[in-house]
Each structure stands twice: as C-alpha cells, then as structure tokens.
A and B are shown apart, each in its own frame.
Chain A
C-alpha cells in the first residue's frame, strides 16, 4: 500500500432491512500500529470488522486491506489477515497443538511446516505445557491466546481483533494485551474493536470512535482527551475553610478558571504545562500554610470523550457476557 495504510475504508454501508449497521463509515489504519475502534454495543464495530475480513459483503463504499480490495480480491485478502472474533474460534475437542496444526494445513503450509509453526506459536503464546491437552480444559485466557496464535499462523499483515478480551478476567485480559503488544512489535498492524475504553487507551496509538454506523472521531487517545478540555489539576484541602485560599493559589498559577467543590473540599482547574503547574501549586500552598490532603493531575477518561462526542454514555451495563470467564 503506497500511502502507508494497512486498512482503508471509504463510505462503507451495510443494511439489514431498515437498519443501517454501517452508514458511510470511513477508516484509515496506518501500517504497523494498533488502531482502536471504539463504540458501544450495536454501533457497527463488528459489522465493520466482518466486512474488512471478507466475512460479509458490503452494500456500498469500498475497502482495501493490505492494498487489496476486500470485495474483488477476497481470497488474496484472506491470505494476509488474521481474525480473532468475539468467541475463541478454536476446536474444543482437539488439543492446542492439533488445532494449530489443522489451521496451519488449512492455511496451506503443508504438514511439516504446519507442525513446525505450531511448535513455534505454542512457545510464543506460552502454551507449550498445555499443548497436548484438550482445549475444552483450557482457561478463558488460554483459549483466547490459542485463538490469537491461530490468527498468527501466516504472520498476517493485518490482524483483526474483535473485542478480544470481552468476558475475560483481569489477569487473562493482561495476558492478551501482552500478546498484542508483542505482535505489533514484530510488525503486524492491528485493528482492535473494544467497548473497554481503558483497553483502547492502553493499546491503541490511534482511535476511531464509531456510533450508529459512522465514524464520529478519529484521533490519538491524547487528542481525544484534549477534545474534552485536556488535563486538570486537583487539590483536596484538609480544612474546608482553606478552600478560598486554595482557589486563589490555583488561579494565580494556572491560566484557566478554577472550580471549587465544597462538599469534597476540592479545587480543580485546567492546566497546560502539567508538571510545572503541579510543583508550583504544591509549593505555593505550602508557603501559604494551606494543609493539603491530596494533589494530582487528572486526565479525562475516554468515557468523558464519549459523552462529549455522542451526548450519551457508553452503555456498559448492556455488555453481553456470553462467554464463560474461565473454564
């Protein structure tokens, strides 16, 4: 791909009856990066991934993956992508090794290379000890790692991860994140869909926010946070009576207008020069004899971003926990 994009989609449309799952969706993913696709349930994330990974046909627009048209060159695209969907799509009866060897042969590696590749991947994803156990006995995290390994058999140019940690416990989630970072270090481009804002923030260097089938923002995690007003300094004073003095100090140091929250004994204000402002405020408060309980910088969360962009919160209560956490 000449312009350095591993994935490029323009005006994607997908309709199911009257419902527009994708309604002019645009996406550009730079080679060698993790790109987050963030949005609530039903926003169109999975539909976008299924189109880009050639599983479903698009109704309008065009998309290229690894420089190939997903509609006209589906077979060529398939030789260059890996896909890990919302379920760990591995055979539960076979062992981990048998799974990887089967997928390797189906990727047309031939028996010998499929076996060798299975050994490498089991090692890489820390599954060697469990290699000859049935996948049915794996924990949720192990299954997901095996799933990732199967997606990596051809060392694909582009890896699609559709909510890879949904339903996993925090430890397994960390394991999956480590695997993803290792893959990117080795040159794979990753498109990651998630409804966990923390996950997009941790892994992705760029994030597209999707809502109702359209991209409503595309920026770096920091850029998105700046959209809602950037960092703030927060001071919690020990004595509520000190609030007016603290407000004065903060106002002197920071350029933005401070706000006071009487109930929480808290004063906060927007800052640009983060660390300088923090040290200056801390020192001045000490000089003035104001007792401080807590002082710090707060970066806006992506939840704040989402609320700002869409006017509604991400609805995490509706998260489908279809998968068992650990067997």
Chain B
C-alpha cells in the first residue's frame, strides 16, 4: 500500500496565473486527445460542409447567379468556411453537455484546479480544431479550383473566421449548460441549419424576397462571409444596404456583440452550478 502515501499537491511553488494556464493547457490536451483517439469525428464535422460544397457547387451551381457577376463556386467557398465555423458551436455544446451530465464538470469543480480553466480550455481547444478544419476546407477548395488572393488579405480573412468561431464558443458553452441531455444537443443542428441558410452563405440576400433578404443581410455570419469574400478577392455579391457595405467592420463588430451577450450568460450559467 505504498501507493497511498500522502501525495500532496505542490501548488505552492507557483502562482495562480501559472496554474490557470497549466490547467487550461491540460484541458486543451484532453480535447485534442479526443480527436486523436476518434479521428473520425473531425471527418464527421467536415462532412457536411464538404458535401455542401459538392452539392451546391456542382448540382445547383450552374443554376446559381452571383449579383455583380463572378463564378458561383468562387462565391460559395468562403461561405462554406463560415458555415464550418458556424456549426462549431454545436460541437462546443455537445462536449459541454456530455461533461456536465456525466459528472465530469463536477469532478473538475471538486478539484483544486482553476474552474475557469474548464471553460477557457474548451474555448482554446475549439479554436485549435477550427484552425485545422479551416485548413482542410481551404485545401478542398483549392483542389476544386478556388484561387484566392494571397497575402495579408488571406490572413485577415482567416482571422475573421476564427473571430466568429471564438464568439460562438460562448453560445456553445451556454447552450451546453442549458440543454438537459446530449440528445437535445444533437437537435441543435436543426436550429443551426436554417440559421446558416438565411444568410449570404449560399445565396446573395438581394436575390431573396425583401424581408428575408433583410434578415439574411443582418445575420452576423453574413458579414463574416462578405468580409472573407472581399479579403480573398472572390466575388462578393454584395447588396447596397448599410450592413452589406460595411461587411469588414461588421465582421469585426458582430462577434464582439455576441461575446458581450453570451459570455456573461455562459459564466452565469456556470456559476449557477454552485447553487
């Protein structure tokens, strides 16, 4: 029974910030190990956007027009990147709801670790995975003949896409703590799908009925899509409304608004676990 010699934590030798970062790193490591053990998950996550590229690009593609001209597939690709980011919140919610219903979050909270690392680590994991997803999506797009402008514009677009994903983490965490079970989290897809359709991802809002086009133009993910198109140098298909003319600005602002609303909601929900 020498195994049970008291093993005390050496926490005293480092400060709080050190342990917050270390704890966060360990949660990230856990999240990435999940993908290493179940690589098929990343295929599932990418399956829908890639399938959409093929369906919309080749099946409907010839029937699609881009206002202001340009090739539809060039128009579609940045939209697909946005959709990949947008669906990401479902993954966040799914992991969180699993952890909270199976008692894993309780175990973390009963340990002398920084509890904020549980959420922060989730966020960093999701951003790392989002980078990998974007890289795979872009390689797919390149293979299909998509040719963006390189350089800073490319990096800025990549950054804006991650910025959107960052904001959606908080919606994911909030929903993950809100829904009662993992099955319900699966149902989020049914909500997310129409929300991504009513945007500029597949079709320019100005081609939709007026009221619907207005909703689509003001959809936060439309701004990211339009800004990415502009920065990649691919057809924008933009309309004349204020929000469409200021896509770059709004692609920066929308995630701030989403974070401002949902980060406090997620934090409050997390704190409510102590009630």
Complex Cα distance, B108 from A259, in Å, reads 57
Q: Is the CB of B4 within 8 A of A93?
A: no
Quick one: which of A90, A92, A108 contacts B112, CB cutoff 8 A? A108
Q: Is the CB of A108 within 8 A of B11?
A: yes
Binds A, one of B29-37, B46-54, B61-69: B29-37
Question: Which of chain A's residues have a CB closer than 8 A to the CB of B30?
Answer: 91, 94, 102
Query: What are 29 A-B contacts with C-beta separation under 8 Å?
Result: A55-B106, A57-B275, A79-B9, A79-B11, A86-B103, A88-B103, A89-B102, A91-B30, A93-B33, A94-B37, A98-B33, A102-B30, A103-B107, A106-B27, A106-B111, A106-B113, A107-B9, A107-B111, A107-B113, A108-B10, A113-B7, A117-B7, A124-B1, A134-B37, A150-B107, A154-B7, A154-B8, A155-B7, A188-B4
Shortest beta-carbon distance, B31 to chain A, in Å?
10
Quick one: which of A83, A87, A113, A185 contacts B1, CB cutoff 8 A? A185
Q: Is the CB of B3 within 8 A of A107?
A: no
Complex Cα distance, B10 from A97, in Å, reads 22
Which residues of chain B have a CB within 8 Å of any CB of chain A? 1, 3-11, 19, 22-23, 26-27, 29-30, 33-34, 37-38, 101-104, 106-113, 273-275
Complex Cα distance, B108 from A198, in Å, reads 31
Chain A, residues 190-228, CB within 8 Å of chain B (1/0): the string is: 000000000000000000000000000000000000000
Q: Is the CB of A153 within 8 A of B1?
A: no
By secondary structure, the A interface counts as loop
Complex Cα distance, B112 from A107, in Å, reads 6
Quick one: which of B22, B38, B103 contacts A85, CB cutoff 8 A? B103
Question: Which of chain A's residues have a CB closer than 8 A to the CB of B5?
Answer: 155
Q: Which residue of B lies closest to A156 (CB)?
A: B6
Q: Is the CB of A93 within 8 A of B38?
A: yes
Q: Is the CB of A55 within 8 A of B110?
A: yes
Quick one: which of B3, B37, B38, B102 contacts A121, CB cutoff 8 A? B3
Shortest beta-carbon distance, B85 to chain A, in Å?
23
Q: Which residue of B lies closest to A89 (CB)?
A: B103
Question: Which of chain A's residues have a CB closer than 8 A to the CB of B104?
Answer: 89-91
Q: Is the CB of B7 within 8 A of A87?
A: no
Q: Is the CB of A186 within 8 A of B4?
A: yes
Question: Which of chain A's residues have a CB closer than 8 A to the CB of B103?
Answer: 85-89
Given contacts A87-B102, A185-B1, contact A102 B274 (CB under 8 A): no
